[in-house]
Structure 1
Amino acid sequence: MSLKLSKKAFDDVLKDLGKEYKIYGPIRIKGEGRFSDTDVVRYGEVSTVDEIEVHEKAHFSPKEILFPITQTLFYFTEGAYQEPKDEEKKLIIFLRPCDIHGVTRLDQVFLQNGDDKDIYYERLREKVKFFMIECTEGFDNCFCVSMGANKTENYAAAIRFGEDMLLDIKDETLMDTFRTKGETVDFQPQFIQENSVKVKLPDVEKITTEIFEDDMWKEYTQRCIACGRCNFVCMTCSCWTMQDIAYDENGNNGERRRVWAGCHVDGFTDMAGGHGFRKNYGDRMRFKTMHKINDFKKRNGYHMCVGCGRCDDICPEYISFSSCINKVTELVGEERK
């Protein structure tokens, strides 16, 4: 079903949906950017169309809704433990096609990576509906077309933002809510066909150990500062660590938390006895790159990276991940057919 709604009518729909759903979208937060006089665009709860930032790429991905930065798994006392109460409301997320593809990668890691599912991720994932923001032009550093993440049919509703809102609604449970607020039109979302940044992907069958040992990684040893920003803005990075927090009043009471971690961050590979791996920053860049475009592909049949370009946007040392992929392809000598 395709409809045209005024912004006011769409706001009325969001108000109705808000009774059953928590609604998230990219929002502009004033004065919270990298510098004191800049803004940041990241995901937060919304209730109106005008709160949703559609003219600028979100600096942070929507993964933090499904995979929170800090997540309490259970509370413990001296003789018992208790899990937090589940959020009763379901979730709606406004996001772009590349990020929907990114959720597919998270699903692969948390739900399809062996016999056991990650129940904490699964509980949130089961509640989600995607409202896809139509994306036809892309932004600086995007290379979603090269990664095949520019198109998707995996959405409850697709939306073109403008003076009037055009919607392609697939989810039958939403149709009655929208139908009374708009008029029927002929609308199908369009997708970006070409990015200004283009990536050539290597043929993974041609990758050898020589690629891992090449001197190209030394450049990143000199440039990378191991801040981990690229890990934390990435839609598909999914590493985490555990923290046990003891309360000051009684050290036998506290909580166990799951907290984001990243392969670029100091301490990520530390082991008991003081052993650690990949202390060299170039080795960390190699590990991340080859995970995104090599071993994940070999295991699952598609690349982990979706080409959102946030890693390039956020890096304080202006390291380009897309350029790194192209360098690997040049070393391999043959790109993917």
Structure 2
Amino acid sequence: MGYKVGFKDADRIFGQLQDEYEIWAPKRFVGKGRYSDTDLIKYAQVASAEEIEYKEKSDFPAKEVLSPITQSLFYFTEDEFIESKAGSKKLLIFMRPCDIHAQHYQEKIYLQNGGFEDMYYKRMNERVKIVMMECQEGWDTCFCVSMGTNKAEDYSMAVLFGEDGLSFQVKDESFAPYFEGMEDDDFTPAFVEENELKVTVPEIPDKEILTKLKDHPMWRQYDKRCISCGACTVACSTCTCFTTTDIIYNENANVGERKRTSASCQVKDFTDMAGGMSFRNRAGDRMRYKVLHKFHDYKARFKDYHMCVGCGRCIDRCPEYISIVATVNKMADAIEEIKAGENGQERG
């Protein structure tokens, strides 16, 4: 079913939806960008269609709705603890196709990881309905086609924003009553077919080559280039690293709350352990860990696809202009170099 909806009618529909749903979408925050006189686009609750930023890619991903930067887990006193409460409303989230794929990738980490289910993520995820925002061309840092995430089918509705209104495709019949009396439209979403950026992810054929790749000198260039700020992982659609902190309310150390806060494997001291042990102390080693996790380890574990969805937000946010596409291409060259060296030794 498809419908053509003017902005005034869209706002009326949004008002009705808010009785049952929190509506989340990319929203522009004027003057809040990281440079002077620039804006920030991030996910926030919206009350009208005009609030949704659809012309530009959001600086931060939709994952922040389900796994917030900071989240209270439970509150404790000297002799008991109380879990934080989940919201009562469902979540209606406007997402690009790549973010829809990213949600499924995160589900594997939070809900299918060795039989463990993260209850805090699960209770959010179970409340989600998705509105897919049509994405026809993408942006200059996107490479979703290479990662196979340019198209999506798992959504309740799809939407195309126009100058005079919105076109909706409604797949979930529970939403059809909201569009009663609206003009019919045979809208079917289009998808990006080609990106300016392209990447071919190299296959690592065996453990021996993987071991040699980890020691390859290509990673040393990032010791100087990468400043270990973690901006790439905060903006990443699929990163899931976090840390926990106990917040004490007063002088009584037995009263407070435990919070979960997003963390980054790219930040120095992330791997600090009791006793002073620490791993990956060089920026290049941290870069290697991130890249191999996105483009080898995840797929090797879950046997389906690579973890990166090609949204390009890490490229957009890196203050040193490090491109993940260029890094993966360098990794491909390093693998071929290692293979050539092994073949030369065999012939010798």
Per the normalisation by structure 1, the TM-score is 0.96
Equivalent residue, structure 2, for 1:241: 243
Equivalent residue, structure 1, for 2:173: 172
| Distance across 2 between alignment mates of 1:242 and 1:262 | 13
| Distance across 2 between alignment mates of 1:261 and 1:181 | 48
SS at match of 2:93: strand
The 8 Å contact of residues 218 and 334 in structure 2, kept in 1 or not, is answered as: no
| CA displacement, residues 161-203 of structure 1 (integer Å, 9 cap, x when unaligned) | 102311111111111112x142222121000000101111112
CA 181–106 in structure 1, closer or farther in 2 if over 3 Å, else same: farther
Question: In the alignment, is residue 101 of structure 1 matched against residue 140 of structure 2?
Answer: no
| Distance across 2 between alignment mates of 1:332 and 1:252 | 53
Matches within 5 A, 1:153-172: 153-162=153-162, 163-172=164-173
The 8 Å contact of residues 42 and 61 in structure 1, kept in 2 or not, is answered as: yes
Equivalent residue, structure 1, for 2:342: none
Equivalent residue, structure 2, for 1:282: 284
Equivalent residue, structure 1, for 2:143: 143
Question: In the alignment, is residue 85 of structure 1 matched against residue 88 of structure 2?
Answer: no
CA 78–142 in structure 1, closer or farther in 2 if over 3 Å, else same: same
Aligned residues: 333
| Distance across 1 between alignment mates of 2:291 and 2:275 | 28
The 8 Å contact of residues 33 and 39 in structure 2, kept in 1 or not, is answered as: yes
| Distance across 1 between alignment mates of 2:244 and 2:238 | 19
Equivalent residue, structure 2, for 1:333: 336
Structure 1 portions without partners, runs of 5+: none
SS at match of 1:65: helix
**Equivalent residue letter for 1:273:** G
| Distance across 2 between alignment mates of 1:118 and 1:7 | 39
- Say which one has the larger Rg: 2
Equivalent residue, structure 2, for 1:29: 29
| Distance across 1 between alignment mates of 2:300 and 2:33 | 38
**Equivalent residue letter for 1:250:** N
Equivalent residue, structure 1, for 2:295: 293
| CA displacement, residues 216-254 of structure 1 (integer Å, 9 cap, x when unaligned) | 101111101110000101010001111011112533210
| Distance across 1 between alignment mates of 2:279 and 2:249 | 32
| Distance across 1 between alignment mates of 2:204 and 2:174 | 42
| Distance across 2 between alignment mates of 1:332 and 1:160 | 42
Equivalent residue, structure 1, for 2:344: none
- Alpha-carbon shift at residue 330 of structure 1 (Å): 2.1
SS at match of 1:16: helix
**Equivalent residue letter for 1:167:** F
Equivalent residue, structure 2, for 1:267: 269
| Distance across 2 between alignment mates of 1:209 and 1:85 | 45
Matches within 5 A, 1:42-57: 42-57=42-57
SS at match of 1:264: coil
Matches within 5 A, 1:308-327: 308-327=311-330
Percentage of matched positions with identical amino acids? 50
| Distance across 2 between alignment mates of 1:211 and 1:262 | 23
Structure 2 residue corresponding to 1:254, chosen from 253, 256, 259: 256
SS at match of 2:326: helix
Equivalent residue, structure 2, for 1:201: 201
Equivalent residue, structure 1, for 2:343: none
**Equivalent residue letter for 2:230:** G
CA RMSD, aligned part only?
1.2
| Distance across 2 between alignment mates of 1:88 and 1:230 | 33
After alignment, is 323-332 or 255-264 more displaced? 323-332
Equivalent residue, structure 1, for 2:228: 226
| Distance across 2 between alignment mates of 1:185 and 1:241 | 47
| Distance across 2 between alignment mates of 1:86 and 1:123 | 7
**Equivalent residue letter for 1:258:** R
Structure 2 portions without partners, runs of 5+: 338-348
- Alpha-carbon shift at residue 158 of structure 1 (Å): 0.6
| Distance across 1 between alignment mates of 2:89 and 2:294 | 33
- Alpha-carbon shift at residue 325 of structure 1 (Å): 0.9
| Distance across 2 between alignment mates of 1:85 and 1:236 | 25
SS at match of 2:101: helix
**Equivalent residue letter for 2:112:** Q
| CA displacement, residues 264-284 of structure 1 (integer Å, 9 cap, x when unaligned) | 012210000111000100000
| Distance across 2 between alignment mates of 1:171 and 1:232 | 32
| Distance across 1 between alignment mates of 2:11 and 2:156 | 17
